[in-house]
């Protein structure tokens, strides 16, 4: 069951305890001195601000981390189902994906505290996804559905998915656990959808000008629909020296969401 308030990280399992100990060391807590550097996806105009993990839509954003030390962002689309970027789980050295139980999902994570923790029970990645070391050479939908070992949220604390594609110029937001602010959820709340980018396989990625850098992969690109924020895409790429990047449309994941129950069964 999902708990109501934050708690310190003292999980019972030895593997997770070691992982958490590594995360909350002073070196991990320190924010790298990158403020004077041009970060991919941020450029020279940084609009990111810390946001509360206790209010929607940010309450649905989770930290995804592996026992190999990798960290990305994800978001809840059902109480025990997370959507993230597939490239976050791929291991280039072995050509395999991280073993599901070695993937941890933390809700409400901020400065060493979190609301709930779950392990991943199963990963669903589109068969057409073919990862490459160079992301621009990757083909197929860069998204992964994580089925958790228990529910970590109530039904009203998950993100609806936009059915269709957002419109260029539409107001947007994007948040994630990023490399230079990895202990806090940072978000650009004043950005926009831009021109989509066509791909050789006939698909399109959603363009945006949101400030977001490494670590925000898997985070939700949000737009307004029916007076609420909904997930239009999964952040997967950042421009090299400018604000913004590209997001994988997530609307066709509705079928997976509809086929899974709130407890991940």
Report CA dihedral (82, 87, 90, 92) to the nearest 10 degrees. -170
**DSSP at 89:** G
What does the pLDDT profile of the chain (265 residues) look like in tens digits?
444 443 334 344 444 444 554 443 333 333 444 455 778 768 788 899 999 999 999 999 999 999 988 899 999 999 999 999 999 999 988 889 999 999 999 999 999 999 999 999 999 998 888 877 566 566 678 999 999 999 999 999 999 999 889 999 999 999 999 988 889 999 999 999 999 999 887 889 999 999 888 888 999 999 999 999 999 999 998 877 777 889 999 876 544 554 454 343 3
**For the chain, how big is the Rg over CA atoms in Å?**
17
DSSP state at residue 86: G
Q: What is the pLDDT of residue 9?
A: 40
What is the reported pTM? Answer: 0.82
What pLDDT was estimated at residue 36?
Answer: 58
pLDDT of 6: 39
- CA proximity to 49, closest of 192, 209, 186: 186
Residues 6 or more apart from 248 whose CB is under 8 A from it? 85, 141, 142, 143, 205, 206, 233, 234, 236
pLDDT of residue 182: 84
Task: Specify the DSSP class assigned to residue 36.
Answer: T
């Amino acid at each position: 069951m999902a708990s109501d308030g934050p708690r310190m990280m003292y999980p019972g399992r030895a593997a997770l305890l070691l992982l958490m100990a590594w995360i909350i060391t002073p070196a991990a807590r320190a924010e790298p001195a990158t403020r004077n550097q041009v970060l991919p996806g941020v450029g020279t105009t940084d609009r990111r601000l810390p946001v509360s993990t206790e209010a929607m839509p940010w309450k649905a954003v989770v930290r995804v981390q592996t026992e190999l030390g990798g960290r990305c962002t994800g978001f809840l689309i059902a109480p025990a189902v997370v959507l993230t970027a597939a490239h976050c789980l791929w291991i280039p050295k072995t050509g395999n994906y991280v073993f599901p139980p070695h993937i941890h999902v933390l809700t409400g994570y901020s400065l060493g505290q979190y609301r709930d923790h779950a392990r991943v029970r199963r990963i669903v990645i589109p068969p057409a996804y073919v990862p490459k070391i160079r992301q621009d050479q990757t083909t197929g939908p860069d998204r992964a559905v994580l089925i958790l070992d228990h529910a970590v949220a109530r039904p009203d604390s998950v993100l609806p998915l936009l059915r269709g594609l957002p419109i260029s110029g539409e107001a947007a937001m994007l948040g994630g656990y990023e490399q230079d602010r990895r202990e806090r959820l940072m978000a650009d709340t004043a950005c926009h959808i831009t021109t989509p980018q066509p791909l050789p396989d006939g698909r399109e990625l959603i363009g945006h000008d949101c400030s977001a850098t490494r670590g925000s992969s898997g985070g939700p690109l949000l737009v307004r629909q029916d007076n609420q924020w909904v997930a239009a895409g999964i952040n997967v790429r950042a421009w090299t020296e400018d604000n913004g990047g590209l997001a994988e449309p997530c609307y066709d994941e509705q079928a997976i969401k509809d086929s899974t129950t709130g407890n991940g069964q």
